[in-house]
Structure 1
Amino acid sequence: MTSALTPDHHGSHRHLLWNPDDATPARARIDAIIVPTNRAPAHLGEAARIAALLECPLVTLHSGRFTSARDTARRLPPDTDLIAIDVPGQEALRLPEFETSRLLTGRFARKTDISAKRNFALMLSHLVGWERIVFLDDDITVQAPENLRTAAGLLDTYSAVGLSIGGFPDNSVVCHAYRAVGGPQQSFIGGGALAIEVTRHRSFFPNIYNEDWFCLLDAKVGLRQLAVTGTVVQQPYDPYRTPDRARGEEIGDVLAEGVFWLLDQGRTVAEADLRHWADFIARRGRFIDHVLRLARASTLIEDDGERKRMIAALLAARGRLAHITPELCQGFIKALAIDQERWQRHVDRLPRRPSIEAALNSLTKSGRPPLVRHISRKAARPLRVASAEGGRTD
């Protein structure tokens, strides 16, 4: 059988993260747990439990036909410190115009609103003075909630701290397939369980797959100072359910893996020139072809239906790769650098607001309807001013 190893793919970037080994790590208060969601409110029960245990607000950001702020308020425990918001389309939000979004149109336009929701949360945090926030996905289980406070404590040193994703791996469709056929594939940290120090981490989430990796990147230099601590568990799902998933991920996977290919070798983002991208796109093609060959022959895949779905997904990714050019990749990295500076100017102009209500009223464009929201009595209390020490609890 063909070996799963290949020189055309790096299965891990974990060595780029700091892994603090302090036996008694400092812990800190979390200002808010933020969960973007488009699933039914029943999926928010775990986040509500964690927020209650950690005595912090739970901010839920809703869109789509299966969920709403009002329905969530009715279904979660009444003592939840809840700020539930129906998030409209990006065009209604007071967000900057991003060069990266202008670049990724047509077949490369992303159809989800996860980036807009996370950027909305960052703006809200600036407006109300939250410094240490935690992003959680609605399919994440936190078995040791104190790990989140440990992550918040590490924000004294690092601009962002992720938790390792256990359970079902957090990877792209192509990398899921590589693991399934025996490839040595690991996961990096990401927005599914990520603590951010808002005042120092001045980046945003571009509207592209792997948006969290790009948020953790300084487009002119390299990775910001990042750490990993603790573990959470992601619920399983079928990554091959539709080929559209792999097709939509491919541009973000190429760009992220192409940049991290350089970082893995101690090189900088500035070296991502046209020659690099031409070489990496060719490598990516060879990698997908390699995984396809393994998928067709592997005895590790026992379900023929899964094999067919996997192959269809890989072919979809390969087809989309044919439209990705070195010029597009280089243009995206340049646009990302412009957008990161634009975002910093944008948040610097955001004035502090005296309440959650006042902050939310300022987050939509003039002439747009007010945001539909539910704010619990506890969350509506006057906002505290963050301390210079950041609310340390150790």
Structure 2
Amino acid sequence: MTTAEPGRLAASVHHHGRHDALIDTPPHAAPGKVDAIIVPTARSAKEMAYAVNLAKRLGCVLVALCSRWSIFTEVVKVARPFGTEVIVIDARRLPPGVLPRFSTDRLLAGTRFYRTTDTSQKRNLGLLIARLSGWERVAFLDDDITIPEPSDLKVAAGLTDRYAGVGLQIDPRSPSFPDNSVVCHAYRDAGGDQGMFVGGGALVVGSASMTSFFPNIYNEDWFFLLGEDNLRPVTMVGRALQRPYDPYEDGSRAQVEELGDCLAEGLFWLFDNGGSIQDADAVFWQSFLARRISFIADVVAMVNRMPGGGGKRLRMLAALKAARDRSERIKPDLCTQFVARWRNDRVTWRNHVDELQERHRVKNAEKVLTTLGLTGQSRYLSS
């Protein structure tokens, strides 16, 4: 590990804390229209009031995809008084055939690496509704994100003809919070030079980008931004705020993230060095996985050198141990298989959406709910 000079952040030789060179400087463009804001919500219904009001201010549709503590009938009650166009869907159990079966899911099903959260499923449902409704530009927004300047979403929308994804920069300063994995949070908290990349928590995409999908794995938004062999063009504008949380509260969070963090950081390591997905063979993954474990060891050493003590340090160390234990179980063959299957799943997704579009030329959001068999578990509120 590299030791930091006084007043400077530390950097690990085993980790790229920043991928800034992969993000284009945004050119000037006229603001665009946001057709819809899509929120994969899992928090209580009252948390949706902000996003509904934001959609009303922008004059666009709000799509709330509900599960866990977000009860769709309660979200309807929250949204109705705003008098704006809102689609609320109970996304806990989707009818068969709404979304395709992905081979990456079959690869991980029944293993410790399978991700049980439904964020990816809800984002894919949002993409499908957008395509069938004929929307040109949509904004993905997590339910713990706020946008200080709503016009930033219009600026981002104006760039979607040039970029596969336009992210809003998550402000790491209080009262906001950085957008990183648990391991990268620990690296930053211990003094590491850790940045942030374009993420799905505040992301605007155009219709051309909807040929991609979100695999069911941590860093699914990074995979969404990939093309066949490399990262598609991305940029960042504006500013977003993420509600603070304790990333070290539960060690299982680091475990769940580890496979996706290894896969995404591994591919982005290649991109940083001028490589492509074609270079991600078993030899590369064997080397990168060893590098990942060394990086976690670097962070553990940094945490142990932090001044003071207390519960936070112990929670950080417990989370890092959980991440390391999970990382040690990841094999190069699993990484190569996942990437190969993900590439096949890209074709599966495109074919699925194209087939639905060919069969159902509705181009109307309310009718799309009927097309997908969602009328019994959704509500459409007109403006």
Q: CA RMSD in A?
A: 1.6
TM-score by length of 2: 0.92
Judge conservation of contact 2:134–2:363 (CA < 8 Å) in 1.
no
Aligned to 2:202: 193
Once residues 157 and 258 of structure 1 are traced to their aligned partners in structure 2, the CA distance between those partners, rounded to angstroms, is: 26
Aligned to 1:37: 41
1:116 aligns with 2:125: no
Residue type matched to 1:153 in 2?
G
Partners of 2:322 and 2:201 lie apart in 1 by 25
Asked if residue 243 in structure 1 is aligned to residue 251 in structure 2, the reply is: yes
Structure 2, unmatched stretches of 5+, are: 5-9
Q: Is the contact made by 1:90 and 1:116 (CA closer than 8 Å) also made in structure 2?
A: no
2:132, 2:368 within 8 Å by CA — same for their partners in 1? yes
Given that residues 143 and 232 in structure 1 are in contact (C-alpha distance below 8 angstroms), is that contact kept between their aligned partners in structure 2?
yes
Quote the offset at 1:95 in angstroms.
1.1
> Aligned partner of 1:142: which letter?
I
Q: Deviations over 1:339-377 (max 9, x none)?
A: 11111111111223253332112325xxxx754112112
In percent, how many aligned pairs have the same letter? 45
Runs (4+) of structure 1 exceeding 6 A deviation are none
Deviates more, 1:27-36 or 1:342-351: 342-351
Q: After the TM superposition, which residues 337-356 of structure 1 pair with which residues of structure 2 at under 5 Å, given as runs?
A: 337-351=343-357, 352-356=361-365
Q: In structure 2, the residue corresponding to 1:228 is in which secondary structure?
A: strand
SS of 1:154's equivalent in the other structure is coil
The match for 2:147 among 122, 142, 145 is 142
The answer to whether the aligner puts 1:276 opposite 2:308 as a matched pair is no
**Which of 213, 216, 226 is 2:222 aligned to?**
213
Identify which range, 309-318 or 226-235, moves more after superposition.
226-235
* Partners of 2:245 and 2:199 in 1: CA distance: 17
Residue by residue, what CA displacement relative to the aligned partner does 1:186-218 show, whole Å, maximum 9, x if unpaired?
Answer: 010111000111234410000000000001012
Q: Secondary structure at the match of 2:12?
A: coil
Distance 1:73 1:80 in 2: 12
> Which residue of structure 1 lines up, in the alignment, with residue 325 of structure 2?
319
Q: 1:51 offset after TM fit, Å? A: 0.7
Of residues 198-207 and 352-361 in structure 1, the stretch that sits farther from structure 2 once superposed is 352-361
The Cα shift of 1:90 comes to 5.5
What corresponds to 2:7 in structure 1? none
Counterpart for residue 73 of structure 1 = 76
For 1:176, the aligned partner's letter is H
- Residue 17 of structure 1 aligns with which residue? 23
| Alpha-carbon distance in 2 for matches of 1:86, 1:165 | 28
Aligned residue pair count = 368
Shift of 1:183: 0.1
Structure 1 unaligned blocks of 5 or more:
379-394
1:51-90 pair list within 5 angstroms: 51-64=55-68, 66-76=69-79, 77-89=81-93
Secondary structure of the residue that 2:211 maps to in structure 1? coil
Out of 371, 376, 380, which is 1:362 matched to?
371
Q: Structure 1: how far apart are the matches of 2:211 and 2:363?
A: 22
Deviations 1:230-250 (A, max 9, x none): 111111000011000000000
Distance 1:303 1:48 in 2: 43
Give the equivalent residue in structure 1 for 2:313: 307
- Partner Cα separation in structure 2 for residue 316 and residue 371 of structure 1: 41
SS in structure 1 of the partner of residue 356 of structure 2: coil
Instruction: Name the structure 1 match of 2:162.
Output: 157
The residue aligned with 1:28 is 32
